[in-house]
């Protein structure tokens, strides 16, 4: 999922099945196929549209680019930011890298998991939050860093985290 647009609210989740999918993927292929090395831009576009890369889109993308489904699957599974299932309404990335660890990042991680009741990769039962790790947000002078729905937050301690998630 494009990190700047980490919300399912923006995506047309309802289109992820049925005829709408083929049409949307076809339009994306038409628009991007002529790029040099088009697969990653296409996967980003599909994910921007649906919030994740629906399984049914894989054969369509493969056919459109004259690749095997295995090749497309291999690329999707290699990159951590490509999702194969829908995320919660808001995606929360917590930086796990060293600069954040130097400022209490591990405490924040543990707090976040406890507060949301989920582990990395999980989505809260109410579908509100998906929690993901990230390795560096380039905000290392103001650690610990959190990205919530595409918005970067600095110096996030457990108290600031609770305010962020409104709990």
CA distance 114 to 127: 16
54 cis-preceded (ω within 30 degrees of 0): no
Q: Does 134 bind another protein (CB under 8 A)?
A: yes
Q: Which is nearer to another protein, 48 or 128 (CB)?
A: 48
Q: Does 44 bind another protein (CB under 8 A)?
A: yes
Contacts of 82 (CB under 8 A, 6+ apart): 1, 43, 47, 53, 75, 76
Q: Which is nearer to another protein, 126 or 141 (CB)?
A: 141
Binding to another protein by CB under 8 A, coded x per residue (else -) over 4-43, reads x------------------------------xxxxxxx-x
Contact residue for another protein among 16, 49, 137, 161 (CB under 8 A): 137
Binding to another protein by CB under 8 A, coded x per residue (else -) over 51-90, reads --------------x--------xx--xxxxx--------
Binding residues among 94-123 for another protein as defined by CB under 8 A:
97-103, 106
Tokens, residue 87:
């995320």
Number of residues that bind another protein (CB under 8 A): 45
Q: Which is nearer to another protein, 20 or 85 (CB)?
A: 85
Q: Does 136 bind another protein (CB under 8 A)?
A: yes
66 burial via Cβ count (<10 Å: 0-12, 13-18, 19+): exposed
Tokens, residue 123:
């989505």
Q: Which is nearer to another protein, 33 or 55 (CB)?
A: 33
CA distance 145 to 126: 25
Q: Are residues 2 and 40 in contact, defined by beta-carbon separation less than 8 angstroms?
A: no
Question: 7-35 burial, b for 16+ CB within 10 Å, e for fewer?
Answer: bbeebebebbeeeebeebbeebbeebeee
Kindly list the residues in this chain that would bind another protein in the complex (CB under 8 A): 2-4, 35-41, 43-44, 65, 74-75, 78-82, 97-103, 106, 134-143, 145, 147, 150-154
């Amino acid at each position: 999922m494009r990190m700047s647009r980490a919300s399912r609210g923006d995506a047309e989740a309802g289109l992820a099945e049925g005829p709408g999918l083929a049409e949307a993927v076809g339009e994306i292929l038409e628009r991007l196929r002529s790029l040099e090395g088009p697969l990653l831009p296409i996967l980003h576009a599909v994910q921007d549209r649906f919030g994740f890369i629906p399984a049914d889109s894989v054969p369509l993308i493969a056919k459109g680019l004259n690749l095997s489904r295995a090749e497309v699957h291999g690329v999707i599974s290699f990159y951590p930011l490509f999702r194969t299932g829908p995320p919660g309404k808001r995606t929360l990335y917590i930086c796990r890298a060293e600069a954040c660890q130097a400022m209490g990042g591990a405490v924040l991680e543990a707090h976040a998991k406890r507060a949301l009741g989920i582990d990395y990769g999980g989505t809260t039962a109410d579908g509100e939050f998906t929690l993901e790790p990230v390795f560096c947000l380039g905000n290392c002078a103001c650690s610990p860093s959190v990205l919530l729905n595409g918005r970067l937050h600095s110096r996030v301690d457990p108290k600031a985290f609770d305010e962020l998630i409104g709990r």
